[in-house]
Amino acid sequence: MNTELTRDDLLFEHAAGHLPEPIALVVDTHLALSAEARARFAACLALGGALLEEVEPEPLAAGAWQRLERKLERERALPRRESEPVDPRVPRPLRRLVPRGFDALPWRNLGPAQEVVLPIGPPGYRTRLLRLKAGKSVPRHTHEGHELTVVIEGGFTDVQGHHVRGDLVIADPSVEHRPIADPDGDCLCLAVTDAPLRLTGPIGRLLNPLLRI
Amino acid sequence: MTTTAPLCEAAPSAGLVIRRPRRLTAAMVEERDDRSRQEPAERARVRDLALVARTRDRDAFRRLFEHYGPRVKAYLRRLGADEDAAEDLTQEVFVSIWRRAAQFDPAKASVSTWVYTIARNKRIDSLRRDRTVLGEGDELDLEVDPAPCGDAVAEFNQMSARIMRAVETLPEEQKRLLKIFYFDEKPHSTIAAELGLPLGTVKSRLRLAIGKLRALLGDDRE
């Protein structure tokens, strides 16, 4: 039996509302950037809709409708919230965490890459924006857990192929990969790992305690 | 991982891109009949939502509330909300439906899918609100548009009709497992204990049910 985590698993779990926040953020970013993913996700939501029709209804408290009607009395036209000017490069799901654009973030230099750790989610996850410089690679590494990456700008190549804007890349513990950014520009990604990565290349192994890529 | 299987009648939508089946099969004709049987209820709900959107029709809204309210509540209860929280959140879901009725597009989703999506988003929203420093009414940007764009719409409609039908025709046990998977968020081991089944059995049956639905979506793996 194939026990590998697939994108469909993630879409199903996400439609069911089960994903932890950091993983949900990656999947939402993927959805924001890929119409094809949205179509598949819509089908997963349709499954939720079908099951909602099937579920054994639970009677509402007495007076629930009257309570709702009182709420409606207070409703006026949906107030349009003034949307602050945001960097249009920032996909919608990331705007809360990146309110002033990618360039305003406190990037930390890691040599071939830069990173910003995003403050979200339960402990045990590492949620980062990574900027890999054009044509550069990060040290070869594997993961103790899964690493989910969605490409926001540019592209990179690893053992699984070439990935561009909107692509979701799932690396499980068996994948040893060494992403190389496309030569024509920096590659910006959102990445979540659910366990610290292990560097496996000859130099990486030495750097491991120092450089947590 | 297979890359070899060509499109065949049994799996009309294998592959990354969801393709339209080429020939009308008996199953599809049956499916169309089935859809036309379902239509009156769905049509009535679409009409009610349109009335809510256009004329703020309370009676139409009440009909929707009476049908979906207890279902939304059941969904929230199954996912662990207590009685009061489920009631409160159900109210929030319907305030949202009231506000957003004009955004519903029957070409893009069924009413139940639309309601499900709003309930799902509200639930996630409230879980995060509890955990983070967000204030009341500080809604997170969780809008996941249940509607695919452009050309995907026709395919999506076919696909969701197939899913609706597939769910209806799943064996009772698989349907129950799917419902547990979607609505109960329990670890597989808890599900197994409750059903008195070995963990491996639960996992493989769940995979089987999801696998069937996946086949309908067109398997993602290459």
Which of B73, B141, B164 lies nearest to residue A60, judging by beta carbons?
B73
Give residue A120's pLDDT. 85
Strands A126-132 and A113-117: antiparallel
Q: Is residue A72 part of a domain?
A: no
CA A5, chain centre distance (Å): 15
Exposed/middle/buried for residue B44 (C-beta within 10 Å: 0-12, 13-18, 19+): middle
Q: Is residue A77 part of a domain?
A: no
Q: Is B90 in the A-facing interface, judged by CB distances under 8 Å?
A: yes
| Cβ–Cβ below 8 Å for A17 and B117 | no
Q: Is residue A87 part of a domain?
A: no
Exposed/middle/buried for residue A194 (C-beta within 10 Å: 0-12, 13-18, 19+): middle
A196 within 8 A of A212, measured Cβ to Cβ: yes
What's the rounded mean pLDDT across residues A120-133? 86
| Domain identity same for A104 and A198 | yes
Which of B124, B204, B219 lies nearest to residue A17, judging by beta carbons?
B124
As for the ipTM of the complex, it is: 0.83
Share of chain B above pLDDT 70, in %: 54
Is domain B26-153 given the CATH code 3.40.50.300 in the classification? no
Q: Is the pLDDT of residue A87 over 50?
A: yes
Give residue B53's pLDDT. 94
Phi, psi torsion values for A186, nearest 5 degrees: -65, 155
Q: How confident is the model at residue A54 (pLDDT cuts 50, 70, 90)?
A: confident
Residue B43 CA to residue B164 CA, distance in Å, equals 16
Per-domain residue ranges of chain B: 26-153, 170-222
| Domain identity same for A149 and A197 | yes
- Give the number of residues written for chain B: 222
Q: Is residue A175 part of a domain?
A: yes
| Domain identity same for A109 and A186 | yes
| Domain identity same for A43 and A100 | no
B103 within 8 A of B109, measured Cβ to Cβ: no
For residue A179, what is the domain's CATH number? 2.60.120.10
Q: Is the pLDDT of residue A23 over 80?
A: yes
| Nearest residue to B47 (alpha-carbon basis) of B123, B101, B99 | B101
State pLDDT tens for residues A145-193: 778 999 999 999 998 899 999 999 988 766 767 889 999 999 999 999 8
| Domain identity same for A44 and A103 | no
- CB atoms inside a 10 Å sphere around CB B156: 24
Q: Is residue A74 part of a domain?
A: no
Q: Is A28 in the B-facing interface, judged by CB distances under 8 Å?
A: yes
Query: Which residue of B2, B126, B144 is the best one to mutate when testing the A interface, meaning the one whose CB has the most A CBs within 10 A?
Result: B144
Q: Is residue A142 part of a domain?
A: yes
| Domain identity same for A183 and A118 | yes
| Domain identity same for A201 and A117 | yes
Q: Is residue A41 part of a domain?
A: yes
Give residue B170's pLDDT. 73
Q: Is residue A59 part of a domain?
A: no
What's the rounded mean pLDDT across residues B176-193? 71
Structural domain count of chain A: 2
Give residue B176's pLDDT. 76
Q: Which residues contact B58 (CB under 8 A, 6 or more apart)?
A: A69, A72
Give residue B152's pLDDT. 46
| Domain identity same for A48 and A96 | no
Range of the domain at A163: 92-207
In the DSSP assignment, the letter for residue A123 is: T
Q: How confident is the model at residue A200 (pLDDT cuts 50, 70, 90)?
A: very low
Tokens of B203: 């996992």
| Domain identity same for A23 and A117 | no
Q: What value does the mean pLDDT of chain B take?
A: 70
B169 within 8 A of B160, measured Cβ to Cβ: no
Greater pLDDT, A125 or A93: A93
SS3 content of chain B, % helix, strand, coil (to 5): 70, 0, 30
Is domain B170-222 given the CATH code 3.40.50.300 in the classification? no
Give residue B130's pLDDT. 65
Q: Is the pLDDT of residue B1 over 70?
A: no
